Chain A
Amino acid sequence: GQQLNQSPQSMFIQEGEDVSMNCTSSSIFNTWLWYKQDPGEGPVLLIALYKAGELTSNGRLTAQFGITRKDSFLNISASIPSDVGIYFCAGHWYDMRFGAGTRLTVKP
């Protein structure tokens, strides 16, 4: 089963607002990744993090690898309608484990 706790489960925000979501685990990971999935499609890789404390940006997205190696967060700044989708965190040790996802809805 899933070992990652991802929160919140869903978010309803206004266009232009910033978004923050996070993922925690009881286990340590050597890699954290964040994916976005649109309905009926496979997940698309957004950001990969390899070092504890690492802060990485990809456009309006920023993600951090927690110091304890047991957590990560993803921020989206100035949200736009196309940010709608489900965001998954994933942690890698011997294999890849995924969170249950955060469903983001952006109101124009």
Chain B
Amino acid sequence: DTGVSQDPRHKITKRGQNVTFRCDPISEHNRLYWYRQTLGQGPEFLTYFQNEAQLEKSRLLSDRFSAERPKGSFSTLEIQRTEQGDSAMYLCASSLGDRGIHEQFFGPGTRLTVL
């Protein structure tokens, strides 16, 4: 399977704990995106990378959130001191990054539940 993969698929944690999610994009894709999706809503943009450079961050991405893509391949999203409001589906997507091509392909998501 050469699609976008995410790990873990589900994570249950207690408030105040730190969590880290991983995303492996489609191998030839330069751009990688993180989104958050809550029930009844569409995905909301968090941040994106062009290769290893983090080019944009949404205001939704508080100081407790950090994302990395150290070698321009896989990416991690860490949430520190989780809060109940962080409970959501965290989606990763990747795209070729070619100029004018904006088709993003999504992974299956990581569903986070903060107790």
Contacts and interface: CB of A to CB of B under 8 A. Distances in A.
B40 A100 contact: yes
Given A40-B111, A88-B42, A101-B42, A45 B105 contact: yes
Interface residues of A, number: 25
A31 B107 contact: no
| Residue among B4, B42, B102 with the highest chain A CB neighbour number at 10 A | B42
A99 B105 CA distance: 17
Contacts, number: 58
B42 A99 contact: yes
A97 B105 CA distance: 15
Interface size class of B (residues with CB under 8 A): 20 to 34
Contacts of B104: 33, 45, 96
Interface string B77-106: 000000000000001010000001011111
A87 B86 CA distance: 24
Contacts of A43: 43, 91, 106
A29 B106 CA distance: 21
Nearest to A50: B100
A99 B41 CA distance: 8
Interface of B: 4, 6, 33, 40-45, 48, 56, 91, 93, 100, 102-109, 111
